[in-house]
A and B are shown apart, each in its own frame.
Chain A
Amino acid sequence: MILLPLNIITTTLIGASLAGIACSLIGVFVVRMKLSSLGFCMSHAAFAGAALGLALSFNPLLMAMIFSLTSALLLGPVAEKAKLHPDVILGVMFSLMLALGLIFLSLAPGTAMSSSAMGILWGSVLGIGKMELVQLGILTGITVGLIIIFSKEFQAIMFSRKLAEASGINTKPFFYIILFLTGITIALTLKLIGGLLIFALVVNPTSSVYQFFYDIKKIILISPLVGVAYCMLGILVSFLFDFPVGSSIAIVSSICFGISVVFSPRRKRG
């Protein structure tokens, strides 16, 4: 079992809670609108950006955001018009971004697999400081605020973008708000969960909640709570067994998702 000072534990728990809320809220959109391929590419673009930041000794977080948002801007129109199958985007972009990320890490000063580099790959409890907490807090606040203010527009778009457009909603700005929030959320939570695993926290909590509810309003309300619970369980496992925090959260949330599929009322006939 790992022993850490209390202030680090507190910071980690608060940071993980905020990451759980932000990621799972974004996950509601990503899962429902089938944007998983796009989000997966964005998370790996963020990883490549952060790695480039390390290689250039420049702010990795800023570089992660730039890469993640640029990939959203480039891939958004492709996903929007569905001219390319999502699997094609995923196949090309995932390997490209991972390859770039690993090359950038190998160019980073010091040992290639220094603690900062490993943190970006797999996540670290030491990755979150006070500044990151403030940033995550602001992001979570903005995400919750936007979802409340534009609740009906987001609901309509999640139901059917075409029908939302037919009812007189201009869906394009809202689609890009979703992509933008996804990019920023992934970049800000990168240091805690890690570039290779962050998408588990976006997809797993929401996918678990989807197994139990047919009402999108309930899914939006409950997903953040489940996201926080998965993060807490993951951190507990990480502390107990001295595993990387990102891996622990990914494993715990995947197991919980599997359990939710088994016990989902949707599997019961009649």
Chain B
Amino acid sequence: MNFSSTQLIKLEDVSTIYEGEKIPAIKDVNLTIHQGEMVAVIGPNGAGKTTLLETINGLLPHTAGKIEVLGKDIKKYGPYIRRKTGYVPQEITFVESTPFLAEDVILMGRFGKIGLFKSPTELDYEKVGEVIKLVGIRDLAKKPIGKLSGGQVQKVMIARALAKEPTLLLLDEPFSNLDLNALSDISRKISYLHTKFNLTTLMVMHNIASIPPSCNRVILINQGHIVEDKLSRKMLDFPHLKMLYKVNL
């Protein structure tokens, strides 16, 4: 598969240390992702997957190295980059009483893009309607977010990320805690939307079985280091898994 030569994400010797910690959660990471790629980062719990994702979109400040996303320095242009980046956080749950309807949660994805001192227009509501239809959650739109199941919330979060018409999609454990049906459904939807909107998609996960078939590149991460890159889904074999998860298969 051919991808654009445009580098959408570029990390050079990037390290991130959490406040009050001494050991970096990710260390000396070098990574380049081109426009149109669908990349899965695989690693065990605590490998630094979420840290990597949140460092890339600037939610976590990196402590060393340089990050360019969409051709701009994340330290200087964080809010600008985040307005063009769809982000689905790891296993987000809401208490039953959370006072927000699913369609409002999706609309909120566009708030940064709409900008200060402006209200959502007809166009914004149209875009929300489109993604609701695309993701197949019309029956959930008017429901309170706290009353939805884990899989339904995941779909709402994906719709929210897409509502802003992003260039880049970052997904943190998009298949965690989903049953097989929901996993397969959401995996197909991500692949479809990735192609339809010509997105660049970076997802992190710990379960190798849930890597979508359309994923063209797999990166292995452990203890904050990238240990393998440019693998294909089919190339993942027992030695890789043994190295990563320290288990006998």
Closest residue on chain A to residue B143 by CB atoms: A214
User: 8 tightest A-B contacts by CB?
Assistant: A168-B112, A168-B83, A214-B144, A167-B112, A168-B82, A166-B87, A216-B99, A152-B111
B24 within 8 Å of A by Cβ?
A: no
Closest residue on chain A to residue B19 by CB atoms: A81
- Cα A152 to Cα B113 in complex, Å, equals 11
Tell me whether A215 and B119 are in contact (CB under 8 A): no
Tell me whether A210 and B99 are in contact (CB under 8 A): yes
- Knowing A166-B87, A168-B79 touch, does A155 contact B108 (C-beta < 8 A)? yes
- Cα A219 to Cα B98 in complex, Å, equals 12
Contact size range, A: 20 to 34
- Cα A73 to Cα B81 in complex, Å, equals 30
- Knowing A151-B119, A152-B120, A162-B59 touch, does A167 contact B111 (C-beta < 8 A)? yes
Chain A 143-178: CB-based contact to B (< 8 A → 1; otherwise 0):
000000111110110011011111111100000000
- Cα A203 to Cα B28 in complex, Å, equals 48
CB of A88, distance to nearest CB on chain B (Å): 17
Tell me whether B119 and A152 are in contact (CB under 8 A): yes
CB of A95, distance to nearest CB on chain B (Å): 27
Chain B residues whose C-beta falls within 8 Å of the C-beta of A163 in the assembled complex: 87, 89, 92, 108, 160
- Knowing A152-B120, A153-B116, A155-B104 touch, does A166 contact B99 (C-beta < 8 A)? no
- Knowing A152-B120, A214-B144, A216-B104 touch, does A167 contact B109 (C-beta < 8 A)? yes
A213 within 8 Å of B by Cβ?
A: yes
A266 within 8 Å of B by Cβ?
A: yes
Question: Which residue in B83, B101, B120 is a CB contact (below 8 Å) of A167?
Answer: B83
Q: List 14 A-B contacts (CB under 8 A).
A: A152-B114, A152-B119, A155-B108, A155-B111, A156-B108, A162-B59, A163-B89, A167-B82, A167-B83, A169-B79, A215-B99, A215-B101, A217-B104, A219-B99
CB of A170, distance to nearest CB on chain B (Å): 6
- Cα A109 to Cα B206 in complex, Å, equals 68
Spell out A's residues near B (CB within 8 Å). 32, 81, 149-153, 155-156, 159-160, 162-170, 210, 213-217, 219, 266
Chain B 84-124: CB-based contact to A (< 8 A → 1; otherwise 0):
01010100100011111100110011111110110110000
- Cα A160 to Cα B94 in complex, Å, equals 10
Number of A-B residue pairs, CB cutoff 8 Å, is 84
Closest residue on chain A to residue B87 by CB atoms: A166
Question: Which residue in B82, B96, B100, B116 is a CB contact (below 8 Å) of A159?
Answer: B100
Chain A residues whose C-beta falls within 8 Å of the C-beta of B80 in the assembled complex: 168
Query: Which among A153, A163, A266 has the highest number of chain B CB atoms within 10 Å?
Result: A163
Query: Which among B57, B99, B105, B110 has the highest number of chain A CB atoms within 10 Å?
Result: B99
Question: Which residue in A153, A215, A216, A217 is a CB contact (below 8 Å) of B111?
Answer: A153
CB of B246, distance to nearest CB on chain A (Å): 31
Closest residue on chain A to residue B109 by CB atoms: A167
Chain B residues whose C-beta falls within 8 Å of the C-beta of A149 in the assembled complex: 117
Chain B residues whose C-beta falls within 8 Å of the C-beta of A151 in the assembled complex: 119
Tell me whether A214 and B99 are in contact (CB under 8 A): yes
B49 within 8 Å of A by Cβ?
A: no
- Cα A167 to Cα B85 in complex, Å, equals 8
B10 within 8 Å of A by Cβ?
A: no
- Cα A170 to Cα B83 in complex, Å, equals 11
Query: Which among A153, A210, A214 has the highest number of chain B CB atoms within 10 Å?
Result: A214
Tell me whether A168 and B113 are in contact (CB under 8 A): yes
B129 within 8 Å of A by Cβ?
A: no
